Amino acid sequence: MQLFLDTADVSVLRDLAATGLVDGVTTNPTLIAKSGRPMFEVIAEICDIVEGPVSAEVAATESKAMLAEGRKLAAIATNVVVKVPLTREGLIATREFAIEGIQTNVTLCFSAPQALLAAKAGASYISPFVGRLDDYGAVGMELIAEIRAIYDNYDFDTEILAASIRNGAHVTGAAIAGADCATIPPDVFAALFKHPLTEKGLDQFLADWAKTGQSIL
């Protein structure tokens, strides 16, 4: 499963991308606003840091305006993926983007029928919001499994990008359910490296090694 960072903080992205484990980036209007920087500047810089897909979201709600904004965003770099909302207008735009060869990430997906429509429209990625469904009283991970089954039934090329990830358990669940990718907040990504038993074991190994008085170099 590919791991994307959900951030527009370039300094944080540079640090985590240095691990070689970041496959892409997703942004949204809220993250861009938090950066306090011009959107086009931020997206261009992110695309220079990460070779994989970088989602940049349109602000328009009407399909013609989405198309105009999306074409402008796609022109920033070859790895830009235009992010559109899962609405009737958004899927009309998605269909046209597919015809034009522009990759899309259809966001704010909360049901399997929505995901089916996005795939039929030619979406490159579908973003089911796992955490928000959990907040709503549903089981977000069940949606990932439903979409996986539907896409496999009909050989859709649309990739499942698990979003609204809140913790490591969500990452594990998305991988088990068959998501192609997951987009993760930086703090959750950093936490994936850690386990108290790993740290305890390492401390013991280092203490025992020190007693030998040896050096590898």
Burial string for 113-142 (b: 16+ CB within 10 Å, else e) reads ebbbbbbebbbbbbbbbbbebeeeeeebbe
As given in the structure block, the two tokens for residue 167 are 């913790």
Q: Give the Cα separation of 47 and 80 in Å (integer).
A: 7
Query: Could you tell me the maximum CA-CA distance found in the chain, to the nearest angstrom?
Result: 71
Of 83, 194, 200, 211, which one is the catalytic site residue? 83
Is residue 200 annotated as part of the catalytic site, yes or no? no
Please name the residue that has the structure tokens 């997906």.
109
Helix H or strand E segment including 48: helix 39-49
Catalytic residues: 83
